[in-house]
Amino acid sequence: MNPKLLAMDDSEWSAFCESVLEVQRSDFTKEMEQRLRVFGTKSSMGIFDSSVLMALVRKYTPSICVETGGNLGMSSAFILQGMYEAGIKAGKLLSVEVDPNIPVGSMIPDRLKSGFQPLLGDVKQLMKKEVFPEQIDLFLHDSSHRYKYQYLEFRYFWKKLRPNGVLVSHDVNFNASFVDFVSTTYKHDKIGVTDRARTTHSVWGRLGTIGFMVKS
């Protein structure tokens, strides 16, 4: 079946939302709530958005992930646990943090750290140095929420995503960069109807302040 013709129907959306609730009710989330109280900061991703992120990982089973704005590792932990629950072997998460004073990944439980690779530095400089893998399965933006910076990251990492890879952004309510980028992936026929054969995403949506789109 052509992946460009796929999208989540009502039953799949319902199942996905139930998966988010399942993550929220899990023992892992209770563990992370405790770690958030001990290690966390106001900039740590909240429980609901983290649950959406993990549900996406469990659904799309990425092996190679990149996140920007990794901070103490709240989102990192949920990505890594999602890969574990999805049965991903030797999964890898590259987590970029610009502030050298932050103990990157300190919130991640030790049992999940084998696939964790922190990268210190500015994303734009790391792009120039070509340190990121040529192909990835999931990208999470959670660094600077300035419009141009977000859009730059979306454009750069979208090109690296494999088919069925997922682009995720936190705090999509801060500006229009996410929806503007989504619009660039649409193609239309002569009368303005979406041309699914040429449109380069299969589905996109928003839950909480998490926006996501799946590459076709």
DSSP string, 101-116: TS-TTTTS-GGGGGGE
Which pair of structure tokens corresponds to residue 26?
Answer: 């899990």
Residue closest to 159 by CA, chosen among 129, 135, 141: 135
State the pTM of this model: 0.95
pLDDT, tens only, 1-47: 333 445 788 999 999 999 999 999 999 999 999 999 998 787 889 99
Which pair of structure tokens corresponds to residue 166?
Answer: 């997922």
**Which residue range is the domain that position 31 belongs to?**
3-215
Q: For tokens 């109280």, name the residue.
A: 37
Helical (H) or strand (E) element with 77: helix 74-85
* CATH number for the domain that contains residue 68: 3.40.50.150
**Domains contained in the chain, number:** 1
pLDDT, tens only, 161-209: 999 999 999 999 999 999 999 999 999 999 999 999 999 999 999 999 9
Angle of helix 147-160 versus helix 177-184 axis, rounded to 10: 40
Grouping H, G, I as helix, E, B as strand and the rest as coil, residue 120 is strand
Residue closest to 12 by CA, chosen among 74, 65, 56: 56
φ, ψ for residue 178, nearest 5 deg:
-65, -50
